[in-house]
Amino acid sequence: MHKSVLLDECISYLNLTEEKKIVDCTLGYAGHSSRILKEIKRGFLFAFDQDKEAISSSKNILSKIGNNFEIIKSNFVYLKKELNNRKIDKVDGFLFDLGVSSPQLDEDYRGFSFHKDAILDMRMDTDKELSAKKVVNEYSIEELTNIFYKYGEEKYAKSIAKGIINYRENKEIETTLELVEIIKNSVPEKYKRDKHPARKVFQAIRIEVNDELKVFEIALYDALEMLNVNGRICVITFHSLEDKICKRIFSEKTKIKNELKRMPVIPEEFIPKYKLIANTAPTKKELLENTRARSSRVRVIEKIKQ
């Protein structure tokens, strides 16, 4: 059963009223979107997703609440283009939930989980060409080391990459559990006892396959530009790389120059257009009820002037 992370917090932070125009950049299985739609009875919801199954399921859920929504089958990197195509240039709120949804992890054949055997895939959009199988079988040792270290912050990146290269000299790597075994054989025993040794590598491959970090950065800048005054953006992150990007961009947009901070009154033209609203982690209660919330946090920014 998929349970949305930081749901109550996000609904509260978005300051929803009946007439607002909201964009859920990561529809998934409509956990956040269904709550948003209930609040914006005279407004409109645009929701982005690439996953055909998630779209089909969410359409059924949302249709039971209202018809003032549109699901856009697209990567959210194209949010500005897709909304402009619909004559929308300003909205009142954006939500980004950057986690993989539970159903994607639960469906063995999607290849996202290191606990279940499946063909290596990990594509959010199954129409795309690059898959996890292609990454592990065709990337060089340098490329593999780089993505494991950069996207997974994996300290045994080189050793794991070497293990993959050695294995595939004899046989193509086809399944998730095949890859898990290679990873286990490439790290020290103690490392295996502390945490599942495949977690960071699978995260790194997923980010590479879906180009998640670059896509998020582009989309976040576009969302900031399209925000109405008093509008807010909520971003739920699940690992430090996403969170660093969000923190950097939000800081850049809300920063007051050091020399101005000493002034008794800062002139209006030097006050940033945006202000930080929140940087929140899940409650202990949510962590007990939803293991998916582990390591998540939500950052919120508001546009305060044109």
Top pLDDT among 289 and 20 is at 20
Percent share of the chain, pLDDT over 90 = 77
By DSSP bridging, strand 44-49 and strand 69-73 are parallel
Confidence grade of residue 2 (pLDDT, cut at 50, 70, 90): low
Which residues, in sequence order, are CB contacts of 242 under 8 Å at separation 6+?
98, 212, 213, 216, 235
Confidence grade of residue 91 (pLDDT, cut at 50, 70, 90): very high
Give the distance, in angstroms, between the CA of residue 67 and the centroid of all CA atoms in the same chain.
26
Which of 30-39, 97-106, 233-242 has the least mean pLDDT? 97-106
Q: Which fold has domain 111-210?
A: DNA polymerase; domain 1 (1.10.150)
Cα–Cα distances in Å, from 290 out to 30, 116, 191? 17, 20, 26
Judge contact between 21 and 295, C-beta under 8 A.
Answer: no
In total, the chain counts a number of residues equal to: 306
Cα–Cα distances in Å, from 17 out to 10, 70, 299? 14, 18, 20
Percent share of the chain, pLDDT over 70 = 96
Which pLDDT value is given to residue 210? 92
**Average pLDDT estimate for 288-304:** 91
Q: Domain ranges in the chain?
A: 7-97+212-303, 111-210
Top pLDDT among 293 and 104 is at 293
- Answer whether residue 103 shows pLDDT above 60: no
Which pLDDT value is given to residue 301? 98
**Average pLDDT estimate for 14-33:** 96
pLDDT digits (tens, 9 = 90+) for 155-179: 999 999 999 999 999 999 999 999 9
Q: Domain 7-97+212-303 is of which CATH architecture?
A: 3-Layer(aba) Sandwich (3.40)
- Answer whether residue 1 shows pLDDT above 50: no
Confidence grade of residue 257 (pLDDT, cut at 50, 70, 90): confident
Residue 110 is given by DSSP the state G
DSSP SS3 for 72: strand
Confidence grade of residue 194 (pLDDT, cut at 50, 70, 90): confident
pTM for the model: 0.88
Q: Taking phi first (over 0 means left), then psi (-120 to 50 degrees means alpha), and beta for anything else, what does residue 180 get?
A: alpha
